[in-house]
Amino acid sequence: MENVDVMVLRALTDWRLKGLRAVLVTVTRTWGSSPRPVGSIMALCEDSSVMGSVSGGCIEDDLIQRYTRSYLASSGASSALGEQLDGPPKQLKYGISADEAHRFGLPCGGTLELLLEFNPDALKLTELVKRLETGELVTRDTRIDSGEVSLTPCLAPKALEINGERLSNTFGPEYRMLIIGAGQMSEYLATMALFNGFSVTVCDPRQEYSSGWSLAKVQVTQEMPDDVVMSFKPDRRTCVIALTHDPKLDDLALIEALSSEAFYIGAIGSRKNNQARQNRMIEHFDQTPESLMRLRGPIGLFIGSKTPAEIAVSIMAEVLAVKNEVVLPKEMNVAQAKNLMTSV
């Protein structure tokens, strides 16, 4: 599942822990063209807050209007407007007719079916979010007749399943970014990673850097970077990026990351600095050109970056391209692009 689901679940958990009524909406089936895939979720709170999406926007607007008005009209299990506000889950279908598909902005012939869960249990939501934050893959089973939820660990991602008795939706752990170095560029990169749905940790044992960190929602540690990588246990949803230019901080941490399943491992620096880094690793740490194949550097996509903010944009773009398994042309690689420029 996309990491936005973790954000939706986290927001829903916060609302329910505060005692607010809320609805969890899941796309369970689609026919024809559909703006959002099966398994997509959104959450709607009684205070009109919304997180996530199930369509291009029109169905969200309809759900918000229906349930916000209903919450205002009643404090019970149903409203004077006839909408269910509590009890077992409810199934809805949009786009049954051409007129309805046009009304809700669905593509021609598009139809989708939703399951609405009313006031999901706050403790179960808290447990689910905590397990996702620790890197677990979890299947959430919901009984359609009662709304009762159970959570079970899962070894591999699975497609959503639904029948007359239950809905089974698997949620993957959130994507994580470990940044080595707490300088200015790290703040720009961490900011972009956060709004792209990554959980961000910044590691820098240099107190003059880490003590001045001001960006909220980022975990900051002053442990040695290689120790942090070991405890981080990078998986296929983790990227490790070194931004200090300091071999004492970067090298061992990068070598530790290379022995993991991290989907992206890279370090800032020029072509010359990158080659020097690889030479050090081969000479002093028993690495080989083959073992260093996954180490990216210079990192980022070539967009003519000059400022720290622009360089951070290019790095984030490359991380997202690798995450999304996009094969980029060689000309987009920083080193390749600069080699072409100097050879002209």
Least confident residue range of 49-63, 254-268, 302-316:
49-63
Q: How confident is the model at residue 247 (pLDDT cuts 50, 70, 90)?
A: very high
Least confident residue range of 79-88, 256-265, 327-336:
79-88
Give the pLDDT of residue 80.
44
Q: How confident is the model at residue 72 (pLDDT cuts 50, 70, 90)?
A: low
The better pLDDT of the pair 73, 212 is held by 212
pLDDT above 90 as % of the chain = 59
pLDDT tens figures, 2-34 = 468 888 999 999 999 999 999 999 999 987 655
State yes or no: pLDDT of 95 exceeds 70.
yes
Cα angle 206-310-296, degrees, rounded to a multiple of 5: 65
How many CB atoms sit inside 10 A of residue 105's CB? 16
User: Mean of the pLDDT values across residues 176-186?
Assistant: 95
State yes or no: pLDDT of 330 exceeds 80.
no
Mean pLDDT of the chain: 87
The better pLDDT of the pair 218, 75 is held by 218
Q: Are the C-beta atoms of 265 and 296 separated by less than 8 Å?
A: yes
Q: How confident is the model at residue 99 (pLDDT cuts 50, 70, 90)?
A: low
Give the pLDDT of residue 81.
46
- H-run or E-run covering 43: strand 41-45
Q: Are the C-beta atoms of 162 and 29 separated by less than 8 Å?
A: yes
Q: Are the C-beta atoms of 54 and 114 separated by less than 8 Å?
A: yes
pTM of the model: 0.70
Question: Torsions phi, psi of 93, nearest 5?
Answer: -130, 135
Give the pLDDT of residue 273.
93
User: Mean of the pLDDT values across residues 242-260?
Assistant: 95
State yes or no: pLDDT of 157 exceeds 80.
no
Peptide bond into 308 cis (omega under 30): no
The span from the CA of 2 to the CA of 42, in Å, is 12
Give the pLDDT of residue 34.
58
Domains of the chain: 4-123 (no CATH), 176-343 (3.40.50.720)
The span from the CA of 165 to the CA of 173, in Å, is 26
The span from the CA of 205 to the CA of 179, in Å, is 12
Q: How confident is the model at residue 339 (pLDDT cuts 50, 70, 90)?
A: low
